[in-house]
Amino acid sequence: MLSFQLFVQDDDLGALNLYSPDVRAFDEDSQHVGSLFASHAAVALAASQEREHLTEAMRTRDLIGQAKGILMERHKFTGDQAFTLLVRASQRANMKLRDLADRLVHTGELTSPPHRTT
């Protein structure tokens, strides 16, 4: 077995583990090539994760913008007032701001309905 840590700067991204049924299948050249491959794989993985995070951040920003727009139109708020209302409602409901904005955009409701007991 030959293992390589996948990391970029201080971010530990996992490991690359190579297995062989043969005893002493990996030599110094295998270690060198594996190290190069692991380095490239770590950079590619880190770039992919960064792109995914940026894409999600853009979606969240857009969703919060839509929710602000709904409140601005509905209540004639300024953008700052609408955002403040979203933040306060998020804190009261103990929900992530993104989830609250998603609820408002998709249901038109700012707060969750009361829980029913049966």
Mind listing the pLDDT tens digit for each residue in 52-102? 999 999 999 999 999 999 999 999 999 999 999 999 999 999 999 999 999
pLDDT band at 10 (very low <50, low <70, confident <90, very high): confident
Q: Is the pLDDT at 23 greater than 60, yes or no?
A: yes
Measured in whole angstroms, the distance separating CA 15 from the mean position of its chain's CA atoms is 21
Q: Using the CB atoms, write b or e for 26-41: b if 16+ within 10 Å.
A: eeeeeeeebeeebeee
pLDDT band at 114 (very low <50, low <70, confident <90, very high): very low
Cα–Cα distance between 70 and 87 in angstroms, integer?
15
- Report the predicted TM-score, pTM, of the whole model to 2 decimal places: 0.66
Q: Is the pLDDT at 14 greater than 90, yes or no?
A: yes
Domains of the chain by range and CATH? 2-107 (1.10.10.10)
Q: Check if the beta carbon of residue 95 is closer than 8 Å to that of residue 62.
A: no
